[in-house]
Structure 1
Amino acid sequence: MAVLTSRPAAAPSAAGPSSLPRPFWMLWLGTVINRTGAMVQPLLSVYLVQVRGFTLAQSGAVMTAFGVGSLLSQVLAGWLADRLGRRATLTGGMLATSAAMVALGAASGFLAVATTAFLLGLTIDSYRPASQAMVADLVPPALRPRAYGLLFWGVNVGYSVAMVAGGWFADHGARAMFAVNAAAALTFAAVVWATVPESRPAGHSPPGGRLRAVLQDRLLLAVCAVTAGYGALYAQAFTTLPLAMAEQGVSRAQFGLAMALNGVLIIVVQPLTARWVGRRDPGLVLSAGTAVVATGFALTAYVQDGRGLALTVAVWTAGEIVIAGALPTIVASLAPHELQGTYAGVCGMSWSGGAVLAPVIGTALLPLGPRALWSGIGLIGACSALGALLVAGRVRRRTAASDTT
């Protein structure tokens, strides 16, 4: 197999905030605006049942259609980012998201809602591989962990606002949240189109069979396997965890407060650790962070009240924080310039695939009791952490080799 290499730009001598280029900060600003209005996705199932009168089975089918679209979107958007350009893909994806959002809010009948939900899933995350490729184009390798970490931080700041606003809209006019979400996506598109130039390197046209070339990169596939395991681990927080905590004696109010701690810690702690984490080997950071997340979920077996849950949430949030910049940095270091989007899309799809499997795994283990459930989930995380450790050396050697070409 031929090894695909990239030639990263030299890092600037300064490492302060001003060393990140202005287009990156505009991309960051657009991301925050978009996520601040992103209230439909987390509240969609509740909206379908409580506002539209769908049955639980119908709501589950609609969410499945949304998930299938989301699973496909990453690879499609990554391919388009390399083919058409990062800027065109991101802005076009956000315009399509806005249209799909309005259509879903106006749709009536199960078939129409399921179809528009699929289209929304196909477009709503299309910005991710494009923005990840943009960062790889715009930011020198030494600063990428910090840049990706800042994007992660911005997403969580926006998400925290969206959850508060979404709760208000749910009580005072649920359909209006579709319009707000659509407006946020349009604003993101406008900010990027007006302030972020096309970043795809000139003279690098994607070769034929580019997806085939990506799928022949065994090191990337190994990273994708690690990513899928991490997705299956982390997504338990939003799938099995609420069900398990109800059985372990944690009230819904206690659960909500403990989960709010996740967002608070990310907003407060992540900026303080970004520079320190950015100086470490990203493969080792990914391994250590995944191990910490796995430990946090494994400890959930012993939770009996809200305080115990808050402690375990704090543990796995610490791992989540350090992983945030490491994983996209690894993918960017493995990808050649002309395939940054496709690499990001394939890795993003592997995370989504793991997240899709998360409720299947969790609900299968749930009847066996807390020890079996959380030991099993912790074991998945431990395997993922071990996989990250095993590939860390190969990632480091390949990155070093590409620096010399």
Structure 2
Amino acid sequence: MSKIHAPTATEPAEGRLRAYVRVRVGGLPGAFWVLWGGSLVNRLGSMVNPFLSLYLTGVRGVSLADTGIVLAVVGVGSVLSQPLGGFLADRFGRRAALTGGMLANGATLLTLGHAPGLTVLVACCFVLGITIDLFRPAAQALVADAVPAAERTRAYGLLLWAVNLGFSVAMVLGGFLASHGFQLIFWLDAGACTVFGALVWLAIPETRPAVRESSAGGYRTVLRDRAMLAFAGIIVVYAVVFQQAFATLPLAMKAAAIPSSSYGIVMGVNGVVVIAMQPLIGHRLNAFDKSRVLATGFAVAACGNALAATASAAAGYALAVAVSTLGEILVFAITAAVVADLAPAALRGRYNGLIGMAWGTGFLIAPLVGTRLLDIGSTLLWLSCAALCLLASLGQLTLAPSLRRRAVG
């Protein structure tokens, strides 16, 4: 009589675990995972930019007023960064643009860390702004090239997860290293850039479609795309709100007599929520209409900002950040997928460059508008942000039919 194999107690659990992992990360090409790993390494080393103001004031002796000007110079460079990166990605290929951008950023970081005077320092900060996101359009275009359309939302969500995981670790590690001197931070950041660029160059084949640029068009084609321009306008509105977490939230908490140490804890909630929630919902977003998901994300962010208007303690602001982060997960996972739907294959770099410029423009506007509203009152600031999010949500629903037609086409 043959012996029948009885399943062990561990087999069902192992099967469920494999299914859980497969649904969330399975079926994506190797090129994507190289990009994912490189992005994680890059964000693990991204310590200079978050602590740049401390470096300028504490190490280089720049006054607070002049530090604001220097950071604005970085912002101007960052607005130019992604349109330039998009041009390079379409003209010279994704690998060359991404690797070149990373190496340029690394070289700039090392030069900035050893800049001999204020003039060179300011010039390096401007170049830093240009190079810091030079790689991003190429990375987004590479995903659109390599990943099937039905899987792009999941892929972009996984990239968001890697970026937030790396950023969360970098903030903790960077804070520790900054208290012991800044030179190592500059070298680690530059090294992470080099590793990311080398990984892409050595392990990812070129994915740019073989289409002559003269036949594909350039930024004129992008700027004639009304649906793309409208979508970029919506992103500017949301970016103004999103950046308040860095521009005015610490000031609002200080005005409420909340210790500055609590701001780091409150912002840590953002990373925790993304790391915990994105694997639970990211793979499910492909089944839903992109515009409805975006509109929902904007509306959830509105709720988070409305909660901030009622906050008077760190716990209240932490709850507001947690809710806003749920909206952020939806927005960031879907935005790049919408751009991929709109962009002709040969212009994916430029389309991503334009949406990157939209983010940069919103980031520039954010402190100008936010600080003036905060002068009037914290409640007005956060209710205005909630209203802007609702405006973005309504705009997205209005634009939805055009985006659906383009996605089908």
The 8 Å contact of residues 83 and 206 in structure 1, kept in 2 or not, is answered as no
1:131 aligns with 2:135: no
Measure how far apart 1:160 and its partner are: 0.9
How far apart in 2 are the matches of 1:109 and 1:378?
43
1:5 matched residue in structure 2: none
1:320 matched residue in structure 2: 328
Aligned partner (choices 395, 398, 401) of residue 406 of structure 2: 398
Measure how far apart 1:204 and its partner are: 5.0
Structure 1, unmatched stretches of 5+, are 1-13
Q: How many residues align?
A: 388
1:105 aligns with 2:113: yes
> Sequence identity, in percent?
46
SS at 2:206 equivalent: coil
Which aligned runs of 4 or more in structure 1 are off by greater than 3 angstroms? 203-209
Measure how far apart 1:15 and its partner are: 5.8
Measure how far apart 1:20 and its partner are: 0.3
The 8 Å contact of residues 93 and 123 in structure 1, kept in 2 or not, is answered as yes
- What's the TM-score once normalised by structure 2's chain length? 0.92
1:361 matched residue in structure 2: 369
The 8 Å contact of residues 24 and 283 in structure 2, kept in 1 or not, is answered as no
One-letter code aligned to 1:254: S
How far apart in 2 are the matches of 1:370 and 1:181?
35
How far apart in 1 are the matches of 2:356 and 2:335?
10
1:67 matched residue in structure 2: 75
The 8 Å contact of residues 307 and 316 in structure 2, kept in 1 or not, is answered as no
Aligned partner (choices 161, 172, 187) of residue 164 of structure 1: 172
Greater shift, 227-236 or 305-314, is seen at 305-314
Structure 2, unmatched stretches of 5+, are 1-21
How far apart in 2 are the matches of 1:276 and 1:117?
40
1:48 matched residue in structure 2: 56
How far apart in 2 are the matches of 1:206 and 1:254?
54
SS at 1:172 equivalent: coil
The 8 Å contact of residues 74 and 126 in structure 1, kept in 2 or not, is answered as yes
1:298 aligns with 2:306: yes
The 8 Å contact of residues 24 and 279 in structure 2, kept in 1 or not, is answered as no
The 8 Å contact of residues 21 and 138 in structure 1, kept in 2 or not, is answered as yes
Cα shift readout 1:103-151 (whole Å, capped 9, x = no counterpart): 1011021110000111111111111100000000000011000000011
1:264 aligns with 2:306: no
How far apart in 2 are the matches of 1:292 and 1:203?
41
The 8 Å contact of residues 61 and 114 in structure 1, kept in 2 or not, is answered as no
One-letter code aligned to 2:359: W
- What's the TM-score once normalised by structure 1's chain length? 0.93
Aligned partner (choices 7, 15, 18) of residue 26 of structure 2: 18
Measure how far apart 1:375 and its partner are: 1.4
1:334 matched residue in structure 2: 342
How far apart in 1 are the matches of 2:309 and 2:354?
33
1:81 aligns with 2:86: no
The 8 Å contact of residues 241 and 385 in structure 2, kept in 1 or not, is answered as yes
1:11 matched residue in structure 2: none
RMSD: 1.3
Measure how far apart 1:298 and its partner are: 2.0
How far apart in 1 are the matches of 2:24 and 2:279?
12
How far apart in 2 are the matches of 1:94 and 1:142?
29
Cα shift readout 1:53-77 (whole Å, capped 9, x = no counterpart): 1111221222111111111010000
1:247 aligns with 2:264: no
The 8 Å contact of residues 206 and 339 in structure 1, kept in 2 or not, is answered as no
Aligned partner (choices 190, 194, 210) of residue 198 of structure 2: 190
The 8 Å contact of residues 235 and 355 in structure 2, kept in 1 or not, is answered as yes
Aligned partner (choices 198, 205, 208) of residue 200 of structure 1: 208
Measure how far apart 1:16 and its partner are: 5.6
One-letter code aligned to 2:29: P
